[in-house]
Chain A
């Protein structure tokens, strides 16, 4: 069985400060890891992914994520938060070669002006 944990329901950060949204996973085999963002009343949008290669992955809107195999983590980061980054963020996992996808429960990011 595969699973994804997002331990924080909400993260508050001041505008201009660095932000981190945490994600840990469990899977047999090679993990394919993704971050998606959901703005109010919208579908999910892709931010970035890790499949193989460099552990530091850069994505859209200045976001990046670090894949840590020993800690089974894939935390989302941004050096300087914007108010417009306020949204719901989901970490997702699939095992390589399969199409079953598991999402975390989501983390609401609130950037305070």
Chain B
């Protein structure tokens, strides 16, 4: 089954404790993105990747890191999480030329 898999689905952590949210897709898509969803703000793009070792900043990259060492994986790293990073996070992948994004089920992060 074609899918984007995020882990974990739920995470509670404390300020400053490094964490990684994993994202994996099995569709051989070139493009992958991370978004955060906040009430009243919709989805905002954090980082995106056009292919292996090619990444770029979205609209809200501060406090986040990404890497794309393999085509299927695109982990999101929070080196020193802060409470303002409490949010619902989505990973997505897409294939040119359709540009249709396929989303993971989401990761709900709480930073205390």
Seen from chain A, the residues whose Cβ lies within 8 Å of a Cβ on chain B are: 6, 32, 34, 36, 42-46, 49, 51, 90, 92, 94, 99-106
- Assess whether B90 is in contact with A101, with CB atoms less than 8 Å apart: no
B41 at interface by CB-CB < 8 Å: yes
B42 touches A103 (CB 8 A): yes
Cα A68 to Cα B10 in complex, Å, equals 40
Q: Does B74 contact A (CB under 8 A)?
A: no
- Does B100 contact A103, Cβ atoms closer than 8 Å? no
Q: Are B45 and A32 in contact (CB under 8 A)?
A: no
Are A105 and B42 in contact (CB-based, < 8 A)? Answer: yes
Residue contact A43 to B40, C-beta cutoff 8 Å: no
- Name the contact of B42 in the complex, choosing from A32, A42, A43, A104 (C-beta under 8 A): A104
- Interface size on B, as a range, is 20 to 34
B1-38 Cβ-contact flags toward A at 8 Å (1 or 0):
00010000000000000000000000000010101000
Instruction: Give the A-B contact count at a CB cut-off of 8 A.
Output: 62
| CA of A8 to CA of B66, assembled, Å | 34
Report B-chain residues with C-beta under 8 Å of the C-beta of A44: 43, 90, 92, 101, 103
Which of B41, B48, B92, B103 meets A100, CB within 8 Å?
Answer: B48
Asked whether, in the complex, the Cβ of B35 is within 8 Å of the Cβ of A103, the reply is yes
Of A43, A101, A105, the residue contacting B41 (CB under 8 A) is: A105
- Using known A-B contacts A32-B99, A105-B40, A105-B42, determine if residue A100 contacts B58 with beta carbons closer than 8 Å: yes
